Each structure stands twice: as structure tokens, then as C-alpha cells.
Structure 1
């Protein structure tokens, strides 16, 4: 499906700045749709059409009312009657009213709103709602619609949406979360039931009607600087000077901690025809969300600290084993201790990665590229006898899979160096990893001395190979095969199922 930017590029000659204004409008128009109880269609003159028909390039449905346009209208071309009305609205630069029938025969009232940017009409916004002239609206509906009318005039003036700077990635409260309408003096003229509930949770138990909203935030917000910023935000939005949509230094959205709750607050200035009529203040109670976030952050920090301490303890164990190996005169005991040092070090490296990860997942490729070259240097007596090359990718695996897999690779590399190149020959070890949707296939091969005739890994008495078979078959639920490599040497093939065994990213 084509994006708004693609449609504008293909069907209009708008500049990058004009297209950016339409992108911002579409990013903010859910508020207008909810307040007006109407479907919104953004239409532009199609420069590619011979008769300059109007093309729909974006669509929005309200959360507060049933849609009157159930079908997808994007890329549809307006009929001749609607095109004439759209062209008239664009040329006059004024909001006009049109009526028609929606699919299903529903009578629809359409407001055609010219979208102005830098003094020029660049598009026309269609606001389509069911014709409810016979029904008396509730106080909530009247306040919603009055605010929507102001926003529509601001669209026609070119002052909505307002560019908001320094938002810190905060989400946007919706009208249904909590809606407060303040006048130019900052006095509350209407507060929705949800807004009243939010302020009650914050600790304000009185009626909001007729109260200066900035004073309420000054009273409730616990941090003095946040309280001052929130009060200034409300005052600026309600009665400040006309806001330039190109100015990106306005802070009109913030999160504040009150006595009993945390709320997300957004102020939307209302400046129809350049006259300050007040502001819309939207509030969302995010207390429970913040509590869960803090709990998750605390849990993640605790888990990372545990991995960090495990890594430190393993490094201490490794150092003690290394010290004992240096003091041991028996070559066999010294070799066994050095093997234990390398096994402990490989486990410690995985815990080091886990200590820096938010998730219980490990980038195995990074671990392998750090571990294997060091492992060869440590295993080789004197100058390294083998060069290690890694091909393909292991991907990200859960810690339950990454830990035994790294141990398996450690044992196989160590076994190749010690036995395949024991006679001092120079050689090469290749690790091939093939990551699929269902399994991970790894082959470790070398061009060393190879395996003896009639070799049986199960009866070899080699502790490293016994560790490999145990980890692969029990911990990884996989299979391992030993065979001679092409041109001499040894090849070990490991297949590990990953689709069901772990929730890993591919």
C-alpha cells in the first residue's frame, strides 16, 4: 500500500515543506476526528489527471462515533459534484458545507476545509459525519464539537498542527482519556468524566469547573520544577501569543508526578482566525503503566547484576585454577587444569554478554568472534598452530541455548587444536553456521591429522567429546555427527532445533 509521501510525490507538485505540513496534519488529526465525531479524508488536486480531479491520499476514522465511510477511500478520485465543491473550497480558502449520501444511503454532512500552509492552500480536508441535526447534543458533545470547530479554522488558517519541540518521545493522550476545555483566562469551562477521575486520582477532590487549571497543577505536582513547567504550559496554550507552526521550541506535552498518580498531559492551543479562545488539555492516567515499567526496569537491573556477579565469580575461579596449574609439576594435572580454565572462561563470557543485555538473549556471533581466536592462542603450546575462520551466522539465541552451544564450540575447537595439530603442523579450522527458521546447523572442520580408523566418539574416553555429546543431545535437544573431512582432517556436524526450543530472533 502506498504511503502518504509516495502518493504526494506521484500525484502532486508540492514542495518538501508543504508535504511535511500534510504529514504533520495526518499525524495529529485523530484528535480532530474524535472531537468532531467524523471521518476525515485528506484530498489533493491530482496533477497527473487531465481534469485536475481531487484524489484521496489519507483517511482517518473516529474513536468516538461509528464510521460513515466503512470502505478504504485512499486513492479514490472524487466524483464530479464533489470535485467542484472541493475546487471551490480551495479557491475561496474558506470552510464550506456540502451534503451527500454515504454507502448504505446514510445522509452525510461534509465540511470541506482548505488546508493552508505558508499562505497557500495545498489540500482540502473532508470532514464527513452522519447528519444529526434533529438530535440535541450532550454537554460533552457540544464541548467536543466547539473545540473541533476551532481546530478546523486553524487548519484553514495554517496554524494547526502546531510543531511541538522537546517531546522526549511521549505518546499522545486521546480525547477519550480525559478532556478539559479551558478559556483564554485558563479557567476550566468543561471537564469530561474521565478527566475528573484522573484529577481525583491525582489528589484534587473539588469540582474543576471555573478553576484556573494552571493553579491545580501547581498544587498537585510534587516536583516544583515540573509544577512550574506544567503551569506555564497551560498558560501559554490558553492565552499566549499566536503560535507559529514553524517554531519548534514549544513544550506542549509532558509527564508529571502528582501526589497519588502519574499523568501524561498535553495542551493544544486554540487560535481560530488568530484569536486565542483557550486550549484543549488532554490527560491520561499512566500510574499503573509507570509502576509496571519501574518493576520491569528493577527486574532487568537485578538480572543483569546477577549475571555480572556470576561472571566475576567465574573469573575468580578461573584465576584460581590457572594459579594452581602453574604450581603443579605433573603435566597431566596441569593440562587438565588448563582445560578447566578454558571451559570456565567460555561460560563467563556468555554471562558477560547477558549482564549487558536487557533480554535473556545472547548474540552468539559476537561471543564466537571474541572467544575462538583467544581459545586457539591459549590452547596452542608456543606459536599458534591453527587459524580459525567463522562463516555464516548463529544469530541471537536465548541464554538456555547460548550457554551450552558456546561450551560445545569451545570443546570442539580445543579438541581440534590439541589432537588434529598435535604433531606441530600448521592448519586451519573452519566453523560454518547456517541459521534457518527451524534449526541451526553448525559444522566444525579442520585439515589436521583426522580421526583414527574405527574411531567411536562414545568409547574414546575423551572428556571433551563426552561433554559435547551430552550438551548437544540433552541440553540442546540436537544431534552430533563425527566424520572425516574432505582432503583429510575431521568434520563435526551439529543440528540444533530452534523453532520450538527457544523464542529466538532470526
Structure 2
């Protein structure tokens, strides 16, 4: 499905500022839809003159009146004349009477969206009036706030450019809704909002109280109390929002009370430039924070385990290296040196996992750190250059661990046995190709190639036996050994599934 940016680029030549304003509106208009109990459609005038719907939003508080996707459709000006008129008149236009669409009676409202004095789009609000009834106090408070916000859309003052460097989520209207007047006095508080304040420690009703004072009295941190009170009063228009660092924080914050953690968001209401108060949304995130803390603790424990395993493996590697230096038997020294390398490869993966937060390993970084070690301990006479040609990507720990061991064995085997004595230029290339299903990787050298009739299955070389076991059993992949495409040197290709 095309994004809003794609559709704007396809149908219009709007400026970056106008497109950014529409993007901000679409990011925030779920609140409009929920408060209005209505569907919203965003339409722009295309270069060829047609009016095209480029975005759609359905409410969480009511049934949709547009069950099919309207994005990309051309607005029928004869059936919905308000949209075309709103482009020309630059003012909000409402249906006098609802129009029937099948079994539904829908009243529509066209809200022009102006940027720098020019109408760049029109927002259509469609409300289902099929079954009229007396609205509840909650519905009246919602709709009154929605009307103010729609007027602010026409004024060009909603949504505001709001900083949110902490990346806090936005509470929904259903999480908890409080409407305060221009003096910061609570006019209406939804049952969910009242429950959130009770969880924080408030024991009476919220109506007719100063919300800033109530909130400040409940928060445990004095700095958070001051910030929350300032945020609510500034949104309501009681005090001006100060310049400086607070501007970058925006009108949302997370705070701790004695028994709860809550997320606040304040939305200023000033239709036609006149402050009518604010909407304060509140969400009790106590359980979410508890789970987050548990996950953080678990993650830290896992990383600490990887760190300790890495340290233990390095200790084992050091003991094996010491034993190799003390032994006089060449075969035993070679076996111990190979064991040092294999333990070191596993330790390197654990070191990477000790700094990872998602149990994943960047295979390219591991290979780049592993190769110099392999070249240093190689027993080959000529200097060997090992090059990683392609990006191998990020893999889960359960795949990365055996794959790193396989690579280490293949590179070490190529260094020790792949080149003829006296060969001047010795090069080993690591190449890879990855898609969503599998990783194809090959280790190629420009050496003397494989012996005639070589069968890896019957080889008694421990390194090749380790490679075949890991590839077939641990990785569930396939292994192929043969000559390079140009006939010079050997190539070992591994294909492993990545999911």
C-alpha cells in the first residue's frame, strides 16, 4: 500500500512544509476520530483537477461508516460538494441534513487545511446519525473537544510541532480523558481517568478541582510535580509555556506516583485563537513499566551470563595455550593450538552477545575481528590475505555460533593446506549472498586446489569433520566443496536457512 508521502508525490506538487503538516495531522488524527465518533478522510486536489482521497482514519469509539478502503479514490463532487467548496472558500462547511448511504444516515463536515494562507487539503468528518439518541456526558465532552480541534485544524494550529525526544507514546481517549477549562478547572473526567487518579492516590472526585494542583500533589518526584503542573496549566492557557528546554520536552510526560506510573499528554484547545481550556489524556502504565523492568533485568542477566562465559572461555584458552608452549610433542602442540583457536572463536561470539540487547550477532563484525587472529596463528609459510567481499548480515545467536566456527575452520584449513609451497600471492575471499530465506556463503582461495578424487565425507581431518557436522546438524544446511569457477584454487560453499 502506498504511503501518504507516496500519494502526495504522485498527485500533487505540495511544498515540503505543506506535506510535513499533513504528515503531522495524520499522525495525530486518531484522537480526532475517537473524540468525534467519526471517520475522517483526507483529500488533496491533484494536478489534473480531481480531488483524491490520500488517507483514512476510523474511530475506536464507534463503528466505521466507510467499511471499504477509500484511499486512492476520486471524490465525487456532485455527491460531496462541500469538499470542493471548502477548497475554494477556506472555511468549515457542514451538511444541513444527513445524507443516506444505503442503510446509514451520514452527516459530513468539510474542514479546510491551510498552510501559509493556502488551502492544501480538506479533512472530511463523517458521523453516523442513523440511530439518534440523547448523548451521554462523556459523548458531549468528547464532541465539544473534537469541535474545537477541528476548528484548530482549519486555523492551522493543530497539530502543533511538538518535541518528543523520549519517544513517549500517546494515550488514547479511551485510556483516560479529562477536560479542563481556561482556568485549569476540571469540567469532565472519564471513568477511566478517574480510576487512574485513584490508582495514583486521589480519593475523591476530580470535577471542579484544579487538575494541575491535584496532579502535582500526587507525584513523588518534586521536579516531575512542577513539570506536570506547568504542562497542564500551560496547555489550558493559565500560564504561558516558557521558552527554553521545556519547549523541547513537549506537552507529554511519564511520571511516578506513590502506587502507579502514568503517562500524561496535554492538548491545548484554542479555536480561532481563543483559549477554551485543554484535553488531558492519562494512561496507567504501571503494569507495562513493571514488565519492562522485568525484561530489562532479564536482558541484563543474560548479557552478564554471556560475559562470564566469555571470560571462562578465555581462561580455558589461556591454559591450553600455556600447555601448548610446555609440550615437546609437535602433534600435541598443533592439536592444542587448534583447540585454542576454536575456543577463541566461541568466546568472540559470546563477547558480541554480551553487548547485544536482542541475542543477535553482526556476523560481519565477528568475521572482521576473527580473521586477523586466524592469520596470526596460521602455520603457513607465505603471508596470506583474507578478504570479506560481501555483507553477511545479522543472525541470531543460535545460527551465528556454529557458523563462526565453520568459517574459522574453513579459513584455517585454506591457510594451512590450500597453497603450494613458495606461492607468492595467497588470497582467500569470503563471499556471501543473502535473501529472506537463506544465506549462501563461500570461502575461495587461489591456491593449488583440491586433490584429485578428494571426498570430504571420507576425510579424517578433524576440522572438516567439525564443519560437516555443524553445517548438516546444527545449521540444517548443505556443504559443497570443489574448484573455483576459473579453475584456480578451491571453493567451499555453504547454504544455510536463516529462519
Determine helix, strand or coil for the equivalent of 1:211. Answer: coil
Give the match for residue 26 of structure 1.
Answer: 26
Q: Runs ≥4 in structure 1, deviation > 6 angstroms? A: 241-244
Give the match for residue 60 of structure 1.
Answer: 57
Give the match for residue 271 of structure 1.
Answer: 270
Determine helix, strand or coil for the equivalent of 1:181. Answer: strand
> For structure 1, which segment, 199-208 or 161-170, has the greater mean C-alpha deviation from structure 2 after superposition?
161-170
Question: Which of 66, 70, 84 pairs up with 1:69?
Answer: 66
Distance 1:154 1:132, change over 3 A: farther
1:141 CA displacement: 0.7
1:345 CA displacement: 1.3
1:70 CA displacement: 2.1
Give the match for residue 169 of structure 2.
Answer: 171
Scaled by the length of structure 2, the TM-score of the pair is 0.89
Give the match for residue 340 of structure 1.
Answer: 339
Q: Please give the alpha-carbon distance, in whole angstroms, between the structure 2 residues aligned to 1:132 and 1:454.
A: 83
1:174 CA displacement: 0.9
> For structure 1, which segment, 461-470 or 362-371, has the greater mean C-alpha deviation from structure 2 after superposition?
461-470
Distance 1:434 1:223, change over 3 A: same
1:144 CA displacement: 0.8
Give the match for residue 137 of structure 1.
Answer: 135
- The question of 1:466 aligning with 2:465 is answered yes
Q: Please give the alpha-carbon distance, in whole angstroms, between the structure 1 residues aligned to 2:422 and 2:47.
A: 76
1:167–1:254 contact (8 Å) kept in structure 2? no
Q: Please give the alpha-carbon distance, in whole angstroms, between the structure 1 residues aligned to 2:440 and 2:13.
A: 53
1:202 CA displacement: 1.7
Scaled by the length of structure 1, the TM-score of the pair is 0.88
Q: Please give the alpha-carbon distance, in whole angstroms, between the structure 1 residues aligned to 2:456 and 2:83.
A: 81
Give the match for residue 158 of structure 1.
Answer: 156
Q: Deviation per CA, 1:126-145, whole angstroms, max 9, x where unpaired?
A: 21112268421111111111
2:105–2:130 contact (8 Å) kept in structure 1? no
1:491 CA displacement: 4.2
Distance 1:441 1:86, change over 3 A: closer
- The question of 1:353 aligning with 2:352 is answered yes
Give the match for residue 120 of structure 2.
Answer: 122
Matches within 5 A, 1:9-48: 9-48=9-48
Q: Please give the alpha-carbon distance, in whole angstroms, between the structure 2 residues aligned to 1:434 and 1:6.
A: 30
> For structure 1, which segment, 119-128 or 429-438, has the greater mean C-alpha deviation from structure 2 after superposition?
429-438
> For structure 1, which segment, 437-446 or 466-475, has the greater mean C-alpha deviation from structure 2 after superposition?
437-446
Give the match for residue 374 of structure 2.
Answer: 375
2:380–2:415 contact (8 Å) kept in structure 1? no
Q: Deviation per CA, 1:41-68, whole angstroms, max 9, x where unpaired?
A: 223344422xxx5433322211111122
Q: Please give the alpha-carbon distance, in whole angstroms, between the structure 1 residues aligned to 2:338 and 2:463.
A: 9
The alignment yields a C-alpha RMSD, in angstroms, of 2.9
1:272 CA displacement: 1.8
Q: Deviation per CA, 1:115-160, whole angstroms, max 9, x where unpaired?
A: 2334444333221112268421111111111111111222222222
1:463 CA displacement: 2.7
Matches within 5 A, 1:106-505: 106-131=104-129, 134-240=132-238, 249=248, 251-380=250-379, 384=383, 386-421=384-419, 423-426=421-424, 427-452=426-451, 457=456, 460-483=459-482, 487=487, 489-496=489-496, 498=497, 503=499
Determine helix, strand or coil for the equivalent of 1:184. Answer: coil
1:343–1:407 contact (8 Å) kept in structure 2? yes
Distance 1:393 1:29, change over 3 A: closer
1:270 CA displacement: 1.0
1:243 CA displacement: 8.3
> For structure 1, which segment, 95-104 or 337-346, has the greater mean C-alpha deviation from structure 2 after superposition?
95-104
1:387 CA displacement: 2.9
- Name structure 1 gaps, 5 residues minimum: none
> For structure 1, which segment, 97-106 or 176-185, has the greater mean C-alpha deviation from structure 2 after superposition?
97-106
Determine helix, strand or coil for the equivalent of 1:401. Answer: helix
Q: Please give the alpha-carbon distance, in whole angstroms, between the structure 2 residues aligned to 1:222 and 1:443.
A: 59
> For structure 1, which segment, 227-236 or 190-199, has the greater mean C-alpha deviation from structure 2 after superposition?
190-199
